[in-house]
Structure 1
Amino acid sequence: MATTSSGRQDARDRDGEGRARNARPRDGLGRPLPYGADGVARQPEGVLRTPEDTVAEAQELLDAGRPFHAHEVFEDAWKSGPDEERALWRGLAQLAVGLTHAARGNVTGGARLLRRGAVGVAEWAAQLGQWSPYGMDLADLADWARRLADVVEETGASVDAAARAPRLRGRSRGAL
């Protein structure tokens, strides 16, 4: 238990700099597990990557059924990238976290975030006229997200994150 600057006891986990950080292990979809349980390795935060490395690492995580972790990779790019690209990376992070919620069985949250991410990447692409930044097909990604949101709402069931993961470069999986 840590002590706050006011001298109160604080039961929250904290990192080396005193920021609140949940140290509980996590499963592949980012859900906290009990202390002491075996979890998956956490995605390091604040990593500076090239845009190409961001896309490649996020795709590996999506293919492995770990969209929560892909979201964290996109979030690093969103927070550290150039101002004119922040909306792109935020939209991609929303797509990944939408897939996370859909895989967890959160129908409403999954569909909502998938649609929000689709709007975000489409608006960014339309505004800047860049539908294929870093080899990504943003029109296809937005279409994938809208179609998956429809499927999630229609079935009300959780999805297999790896099987439903988008292709960031090239065409996304056809039939949902």
Structure 2
Amino acid sequence: MNVRKDSEDGGIRDRDTEGRARNARPRDGLGRPLPYGTEGVERQPEGVVRTPAETVREAQRLLDAGMPFHAHEVFEDAWKSGPDAERTLWRGLAQLAVGLTHAARGNTAGGARLLLRGSGELAAYPEPVPYGIDIDGLTAWAERLAGGLRGPVDAGASAPRLTVA
């Protein structure tokens, strides 16, 4: 990560080696930025190409650890690097993870909206659903959580099971 001076407003901006904006601030387990110099949670590397099984396994590990923001990044990599036919699947899973992130942060309206959006994406995914992903269980979980949000939830305790048991 490079830090350079932004010539437009004179402020300092975090940039990667190609000059794209990349925030280098540490983050907590829910992806919230922390002050520079604070110890945060290790971030998920971007652009990692995993097999679908690795994606599901890593995302489940992060969800179980109460880190849905980081699970969303794993799903986002799959959505961006996977076959076009599976983009709806991975995007829907990413939206569920972001919805859980917002719910854990206490943003009940945004959390519910993203949970329902992700649920809708998954419900529209054509049969057969690959990789053992439990579409019915996930959509029921998302709708139940979205309908019951009244304040922050415990992300780890509220995490869904991604696959059929």
Same fold (TM over 0.5): yes
> 4+ runs of 1 displaced by more than 3 Å?
7-10
For 1:117 and 1:141, the matched residues in 2 are separated by: 9
1:10, CA displacement in angstroms? 5.0
For 1:3 and 1:148, the matched residues in 2 are separated by: 43
For 1:77 and 1:113, the matched residues in 2 are separated by: 19
Does 2:151 match 1:157?
A: yes
Structure 2 equivalent of residue 174 of structure 1: none
Aligned-residue RMSD, C-alpha: 1.3
Q: Number of residue pairs matched?
A: 162
Contact 2:5–2:13 (CA under 8 A) maintained in structure 1: no
Contact 2:28–2:40 (CA under 8 A) maintained in structure 1: yes
| Partner deviation per Cα, 1:124-151 (whole Å, 9 max, x = no partner) | 1xxx222x42011111101100000011
SS at 1:12's partner residue? strand
Pick from 121, 135, 148: which aligns with 1:138? 135
> In structure 2, what residue type is equivalent to 1:11?
I
Structure 1 equivalent of residue 4 of structure 2: 2
What are the equivalent positions in structure 2 for 1:65-76 lying under 5 Å apart? 65-76=66-77
User: Which runs of no fewer than 5 residues in structure 2 stay unpaired?
Assistant: none
Structure 2 equivalent of residue 129 of structure 1: 127
For 1:133 and 1:163, the matched residues in 2 are separated by: 26
For 1:32 and 1:57, the matched residues in 2 are separated by: 22
SS at 1:43's partner residue? coil
For 1:73 and 1:59, the matched residues in 2 are separated by: 10
| Worse-matched range after superposition: 61-70 or 16-25 | 16-25
What are the equivalent positions in structure 2 for 1:1-176 lying under 5 Å apart? 2-3=4-5, 8=8, 9=10, 11-124=12-125, 128-130=126-128, 132-152=129-149, 156-170=150-164
For 1:129 and 1:111, the matched residues in 2 are separated by: 26
For 1:68 and 1:40, the matched residues in 2 are separated by: 11
For 2:134 and 2:163, the matched residues in 1 are separated by: 6
1:170, CA displacement in angstroms? 2.4
> In structure 1, what residue type is equivalent to 2:16?
D
| Partner deviation per Cα, 1:34-77 (whole Å, 9 max, x = no partner) | 00011000010000000110000000000000000000000000
